[in-house]
Structure 1
Amino acid sequence: MEIRRTFDLLTNLKHNIQKDDILCAKRNKEWVKFSVKEYSEQARLFSYGLLEKGFQKGDKIVTVTNNRPEWNFVDMGMAMIGVVHVPIYPTISDEEYKYILEHSDARMLIVSDTTLYNRLKEVTAQIDSIKEIYTFNDIEGAQNWSEITMLGEKHRINWKDKFKEIRNSISDEELVSIIYTSGTTGNPKGVMLSHKNFMSNMKDAYPLFPLSPKDNILSFLPLCHVYERMINYLYQYNGCSIYYAENLGTIAQNLAEIKASAFVTVPRVIERIYDKLVAKGNDLSGISKILFFWAMRLGERYRANGRNYPLYALKLKIARKLIFSKWQKAFGGNLRFVVSGGAALQPRLSRLFFAAGIPLMEGYGLTETAPVIAANFIAKPGNLKIGSVGPVFNSVEVKFDDDGEILAKGPNVMMGYYKDQKTTDEVIDSEGWFHTGDIGTLLNDKFLKITDRKKEMFKLSSGKYIAPQAIENLLKESDFIEQAIIVGESEKYAGCIIAPNFEFLHMWAHEQKVHFRDNKELIFTDEVMAIFRKEVHRFNKQLGAHEQIKKFRLVCDNWSAATGELSPTLKLRRRVIYRKYADVLRDMYDYHETEDNRGSISFD
């Protein structure tokens, strides 16, 4: 059947893919599985319940929850009667919650657990448009979402015909969701996405990533994020069984339990997996340790598309048998591919996973493009280039502005920003081209490569431009560096604030017999400063003269979305970091050569 609207996926499942485990979640240490029939019934009853409560086309409902089957029940239930779904991250600030809840004009809020319920009950008390709060978990004193489905069951006969009338009247051009961008600066913007935006993007992805009803998928990126949401629809189109991870800490365990075929992720998760692999390697001894790191170094030199020389291929065969086969086993033994998006992926990590027999492919897109513009894939030969984000999707057009900014046009481009025509007109020009804000180029007339964010590029006082993201990504190749931010706008030279990888640094300090009481003391030891000077100097050799880091400072904090330095999608929040480390920046650029040269690099 033709899939034009998100809820057509549900009809397609009912007619073509009857299975007992389309949506699965762990409850009390056991996987609870929902059939296609249960999914369809719960979604429909939710629609009836909303109609009975007086909801109409265009009304808004906000959800704040972890990934769970119920998210899909309410998502489809809203869509079938034209109610607009506004999903929000569970990790944002009260100030952001208040802004989004007010700005979206939401009538109802559904949250997952007690913590969110207690927190948002106070926030919504100040917002007139929010009439009711419901919960997914059973919470004493709170209304449970199942009360709406029970209401729908009770009044099913009354609303059956009206439901069909509304559902059949919905066009693929109509608004289905407002997704508020996490934003690294300013208030979040409400991206209005239609059924067509999502479904056109899903159809472009369909032939690129071979999946079937036989495949089990692990989902752990937030469903409120456009990337996981579109992929969630893609899984349903293919009839895959979707298992929602318990939390980020159980990913490896859950992958093994369900023998996952694939998953999508962001680079930060891959970096954490890599860190854990390195930690396990460091725990080995003797020949096992030597072989482990030999295989790692070999893997990082992998060349895609069969372009490895014969001796390398022989060595790789040995490495796969001795080392990498254990990785596949740890992931459940059935992992066929991984797709990374949301931020730049270090090419060496992609090479390493390919070498291990687990294709790790990078894609690119934005919330405003629902989301994918381009992606590497292996379904057909010649469509993979490590270090790029792959070929442009079939229905999407791309061109470059005079300054190298990527412009995109296609059925996936958003309807606009909610209640913000001025900003909409700033990013979508009169010819329909969406200005992404990313700088890029086309390699071999085929592969899109992102070089930096337009707004993040800055000039030194010499007039030379710095593209910070590429340098930051390079620095993060070091096992010692967790996060880094390049600074120096209007200054004479580029500097860097580094958040160390303390898990690795502690192991290194123990081996080197470096004594310390806490992280604050550790980062100021002579031995640690020396190793970081060495690391920065190593990367400086790969940079142009004006890009090289002349001074850096180490900080003793772990940067995260919870503490504010990273957005919910784990991108650097530059303004937050600048404010937090204002004293560090002043010290770096008010530096006198007669002072202690801690954190400075000499090029003599």
Structure 2
Amino acid sequence: MSFPKLPVPLPKNLDYSKQHIEVPGTKRPGQTAHYRNGAFPLITLDTPGSLQTLTQVFEMGLSYGANNNFLGTRPIVSKNPLKFADHYVWESWGAADLRRRAIGSALFKLFEDGTLNGGALRTVGVWSKNIPNWQIIDLACHAYGTVGVSLYDTLGPDAVEYIINHAETSIVFVASDHIPALLKLSPKTPVVKIIVSMDELSEESHRILAAWGKEKKIKVQTWQEFEDFGKANLIPPVKVTSDTVATICYTSGTTGNPKGVILTQGNLANTIHATLLGIDYNGARPVTYSFLPLAHIYERCQELCMLTLGGCIGFNSGDPLRLLEDVQILKPNHLALVPRVLNRIYQSAMAAGSQPGLKSALFHRALKAKLDRLHATGETRHPFWDRLVFNKINAVLGGRLLLVVTGSAPISTPIMDFLRISLGCDIIEGTLGLSLITSAYGMTENCGTAARIWPNDPTSSSTIGGPHCNTEIKLIDVPAMGYTAEDKPFPRGEICTRGSHCFKEYYKDPVNTKATIDEEGWIHTGDVAELDECGRFKIIDRVKNIMKLAQGEYVAIERVEGLYSSSPLVAQLFVYGDSLQSYLVGAVVPEAAQLATIASRVLGTTVSPQDIATLKKVAQDPKVNAAVLRELSKEADKAGLKGFEQIKRIHITLDPFTVDNGTMTPTLKIKRKEAYRLLKTEIDALYAAPESAQAQL
């Protein structure tokens, strides 16, 4: 089998002022021309030599060597107290190949003989955190033509029930601690016939769960039992094509029930091929760290890229607090993160650099020198200042980084610039997530791929770059918001994307399908962008998730949140607007160190960041509230927010928005209705307070 040569670096001597090309003859009233990538020709499934299927992706990775390390974990050396080894233990590519064949053969056999059934698709559920067996199941589905249905590890029972029934999933691979919840759900999920534990079960636990399952007419098996059954019924992988459905990827759902995005093997293979164009690992074999949920398209595509290149995937230890410990042991050269982690790195570095003395002076001198160099040339490295200052920051993430990808939430331009110079590697921001301040862009419906910045582009940090090399983009008019393709100096409008990676339908949902995809195959994203002088796009608004204030002004709430979140003071922020009111209010979860500094200054006493009880008390002090609001207002002024876009009153809380309390999706987006419901009393009080009390709230 022949494979394409990947990855491919960007061509030399790029013209950064021409990052897209217009397709001749495509300009029409009410829209721009169609735009394509300015460095590579359009990659489609019809392009000779392009990746076609996910089985081809795996075989390409396997061709680098069956004995190479593939899936790694840190062994547990003690359960009480919980302690992990200071090294990773690896499963080889060859061993993983044998296991995917066994699991895939078992699935194929059970569907063929009628033990498993369902609807139009042979769906296989997965409900677990990221572990090696998650990848094995996915690879088995790819090779044997079954359809993976991923469930977020942190989803509640209502969403799990909905997805299982909607996808008609008769077998679910689950983390052992989810088995009781799934058995309790069985009267509401009668389609489920087999539950397989993805991690080890003690003999007693298996006996109890198997007996409980028998009562519910559900077979509960260990992983080893299922794998042994596959080995006894082993068959070669079946023939799949680019049209074979690979997964139903359910969106996390900030409102209402999640929608099931049907993605084919061709959709994902095209995404992987395109993603690896314009990337350079400098000959190094990629090593990545898996901790963002594999149920989400963002992490799924990152790991599929590692598969294509024969890379290694080291899995997290299951505890977010061990993230940095894991990374420093693994020493990855590829890292997919979310902005919240990177924001904390930035805030810690800036706080350390603000301490009085010689080190602070050196830090700020180094920072200015490297930022000036970045903005002038796009260069992120400096032989002197890296060795003296910035290599210490890189070391926090293992010290070997070549590429960092960040997505699913906004990140500000100053923080992005700082990360580029301090980590000294290529950073691709936002390969997924409809973010409002991003430098790359995509969504589940186009496999997280639409636009991307070019490495070493000195002025790219406030943009999402030009069209990706498998994507056509056009902007269409949004008359109600005053955006048109004829706007001067640059066109503005809603982003529409099209390509071989774009989905064709939501599962069993023709209404939402028709609302999202037009008759020419364009996905209407709901995001508004402006084209710049270099052929890059900049997200400026959102067609959806906007609200009108009492005086008639429209506000894009998520954009406002993104801009305020650039402040080192903000750990989390929820902005709320009432259409019967003329101004916005907000709930702020501050960084403890920043709140302690402000409270100490305002109250004339020393407040420790570690003293949570005192922090909660001072957070309710009107003087502290006013001081925090003044700091936030500085950020708003710096970002150029208009008066009606600025927060006028705030509630300060030290209780964060979390997945556990139902106010965040598993991809760390705020669920607006749930957040408002949680804080309704406080938000109503902000609006109810008299004008004279505004400064005290």
Q: How does 1:114-133 map to 2 (within 5 A)?
A: 115-133=177-195
Q: Does 1:222 align with 2:293?
A: yes
Q: Does 1:147 align with 2:222?
A: no
CA separation of 1:14 and 1:430: change in aligned 2, threshold 3 A: same
Worse overlay, 405-414 or 578-587: 578-587
Asked if structure 2 preserves the Cα contact closer than 8 Å seen for 1:245 and 1:251, the reply is yes
Residue 514 of structure 1 deviates from its aligned partner by 4.9
Q: Which residue of the partner structure matches residue 684 of structure 2? A: 586
1:497 aligns with one of 568, 584, 587: 587
Asked if structure 2 preserves the Cα contact closer than 8 Å seen for 1:350 and 1:359, the reply is no
Q: How does 1:337-416 map to 2 (within 5 A)?
A: 337-356=403-422, 357-362=424-429, 363-378=440-455, 382=457, 385-403=460-478, 404-416=493-505
CA–CA distance in structure 1, aligned partners of residues 368 and 625 of structure 2: 25
Q: Which residue of the partner structure matches residue 468 of structure 1? A: 557
Q: Which residue of the partner structure matches residue 33 of structure 1? A: 90
CA–CA distance in structure 1, aligned partners of residues 339 and 556 of structure 2: 19
Q: Does 1:575 align with 2:673?
A: yes
CA separation of 1:296 and 1:254: change in aligned 2, threshold 3 A: farther
CA RMSD of aligned residues (A): 2.6
Residue 292 of structure 1 deviates from its aligned partner by 4.2
Q: How does 1:146-545 map to 2 (within 5 A)?
A: 146-156=224-234, 160=235, 163-164=236-237, 167-168=238-239, 170-211=240-281, 214-247=285-318, 248-278=320-350, 286-292=357-363, 295=366, 303-304=374-375, 306=377, 319-356=385-422, 357-362=424-429, 363-378=440-455, 382=457, 385-403=460-478, 404-490=493-579, 491-506=581-596, 509=599, 513-514=605-606, 517-541=613-637, 542-545=640-643
CA separation of 1:26 and 1:571: change in aligned 2, threshold 3 A: same
CA–CA distance in structure 2, aligned partners of residues 566 and 296 of structure 1: 34
CA–CA distance in structure 1, aligned partners of residues 392 and 56 of structure 2: 41
Q: For residue 121 of structure 2, what is the amino acid of its counterpart?
A: G
CA–CA distance in structure 2, aligned partners of residues 531 and 296 of structure 1: 28
CA–CA distance in structure 2, aligned partners of residues 194 and 64 of structure 1: 21
CA–CA distance in structure 2, aligned partners of residues 422 and 195 of structure 1: 24
Worse overlay, 83-92 or 359-368: 359-368
CA separation of 1:175 and 1:492: change in aligned 2, threshold 3 A: same
Residue 49 of structure 1 deviates from its aligned partner by 1.4
Residue 570 of structure 1 deviates from its aligned partner by 0.9
Determine which structure has greater relative contact order: mean sequence separation of CA pairs < 8 Å that are 6+ residues apart, divided by chain length: 2
Q: For residue 228 of structure 2, what is the amino acid of its counterpart?
A: M
With normalisation by structure 1, the TM-score equals 0.90
Q: For residue 259 of structure 1, what is the amino acid of its counterpart?
A: K
Asked if structure 1 preserves the Cα contact closer than 8 Å seen for 2:378 and 2:458, the reply is no
Residue 209 of structure 1 deviates from its aligned partner by 1.9
1:352-380 CA deviation, whole Å, 9 max, x = no partner?
A: 012212333312111111111112232xx
Worse overlay, 564-573 or 16-25: 16-25
CA–CA distance in structure 2, aligned partners of residues 474 and 292 of structure 1: 25
Residue 74 of structure 1 deviates from its aligned partner by 1.1
Other structure's SS at 2:641 match:
coil
Other structure's SS at 1:416 match:
coil
Other structure's SS at 1:587 match:
helix
Asked if structure 1 preserves the Cα contact closer than 8 Å seen for 2:377 and 2:458, the reply is no
CA–CA distance in structure 2, aligned partners of residues 195 and 210 of structure 1: 25
CA–CA distance in structure 1, aligned partners of residues 124 and 376 of structure 2: 47
CA separation of 1:265 and 1:593: change in aligned 2, threshold 3 A: same
CA–CA distance in structure 1, aligned partners of residues 368 and 167 of structure 2: 50
Other structure's SS at 1:53 match:
helix
Q: Does 1:75 align with 2:138?
A: yes
Q: Which residue of the partner structure matches residue 602 of structure 1? A: none
Worse overlay, 455-464 or 567-576: 455-464
Say how many residue pairs are matched.
Answer: 582
CA–CA distance in structure 1, aligned partners of residues 314 and 89 of structure 2: 9
1:295-315 CA deviation, whole Å, 9 max, x = no partner?
A: 56776777446169xxxx99x
Q: For residue 464 of structure 1, what is the amino acid of its counterpart?
A: E
1:251-290 CA deviation, whole Å, 9 max, x = no partner?
A: 22222222211211221221233344456557x6643345
Other structure's SS at 2:541 match:
strand
CA separation of 1:413 and 1:343: change in aligned 2, threshold 3 A: same
Q: Which residue of the partner structure matches residue 546 of structure 1? A: 644
1:145-198 CA deviation, whole Å, 9 max, x = no partner?
A: 222221111222xxx2xx45xx22x22112110111111100111111101111
CA–CA distance in structure 2, aligned partners of residues 537 and 507 of structure 1: 17
Asked if structure 2 preserves the Cα contact closer than 8 Å seen for 1:222 and 1:228, the reply is yes
CA–CA distance in structure 1, aligned partners of residues 372 and 682 of structure 2: 37
1:5 aligns with one of 40, 53, 70: 53
Worse overlay, 260-269 or 509-518: 509-518
CA–CA distance in structure 2, aligned partners of residues 333 and 462 of structure 1: 52
Worse overlay, 74-83 or 203-212: 203-212
CA–CA distance in structure 2, aligned partners of residues 274 and 263 of structure 1: 16
CA–CA distance in structure 1, aligned partners of residues 393 and 133 of structure 2: 32
1:413-460 CA deviation, whole Å, 9 max, x = no partner?
A: 113111111111111011111111212122225212222332112222
Asked if structure 2 preserves the Cα contact closer than 8 Å seen for 1:496 and 1:551, the reply is yes
Asked if structure 1 preserves the Cα contact closer than 8 Å seen for 2:261 and 2:503, the reply is yes
With normalisation by structure 2, the TM-score equals 0.78
Q: Which residue of the partner structure matches residue 485 of structure 2? A: none
CA–CA distance in structure 2, aligned partners of residues 557 and 570 of structure 1: 15
CA separation of 1:429 and 1:344: change in aligned 2, threshold 3 A: same
CA–CA distance in structure 2, aligned partners of residues 185 and 260 of structure 1: 36
Asked if structure 2 preserves the Cα contact closer than 8 Å seen for 1:452 and 1:468, the reply is no
Asked if structure 1 preserves the Cα contact closer than 8 Å seen for 2:442 and 2:451, the reply is yes
Q: For residue 359 of structure 1, what is the amino acid of its counterpart?
A: D
Asked if structure 1 preserves the Cα contact closer than 8 Å seen for 2:527 and 2:539, the reply is yes
Q: For residue 338 of structure 1, what is the amino acid of its counterpart?
A: V
Asked if structure 2 preserves the Cα contact closer than 8 Å seen for 1:52 and 1:151, the reply is no
Asked if structure 2 preserves the Cα contact closer than 8 Å seen for 1:383 and 1:391, the reply is no
1:448-497 CA deviation, whole Å, 9 max, x = no partner?
A: 22223321122222222212223212211222211222322422123322
Worse overlay, 534-543 or 146-155: 534-543
CA separation of 1:63 and 1:276: change in aligned 2, threshold 3 A: farther
CA–CA distance in structure 2, aligned partners of residues 106 and 273 of structure 1: 41
Asked if structure 1 preserves the Cα contact closer than 8 Å seen for 2:626 and 2:695, the reply is no
Residue 77 of structure 1 deviates from its aligned partner by 1.0
2:128 aligns with one of 57, 65, 68: 65
CA–CA distance in structure 1, aligned partners of residues 195 and 295 of structure 2: 18
Asked if structure 1 preserves the Cα contact closer than 8 Å seen for 2:650 and 2:686, the reply is yes
CA separation of 1:545 and 1:527: change in aligned 2, threshold 3 A: closer
Asked if structure 2 preserves the Cα contact closer than 8 Å seen for 1:299 and 1:353, the reply is no
Asked if structure 2 preserves the Cα contact closer than 8 Å seen for 1:178 and 1:190, the reply is yes
Q: For residue 425 of structure 2, what is the amino acid of its counterpart?
A: I
CA separation of 1:596 and 1:480: change in aligned 2, threshold 3 A: same
CA–CA distance in structure 2, aligned partners of residues 525 and 500 of structure 1: 14
Unaligned runs of 5+ in 1: 600-604
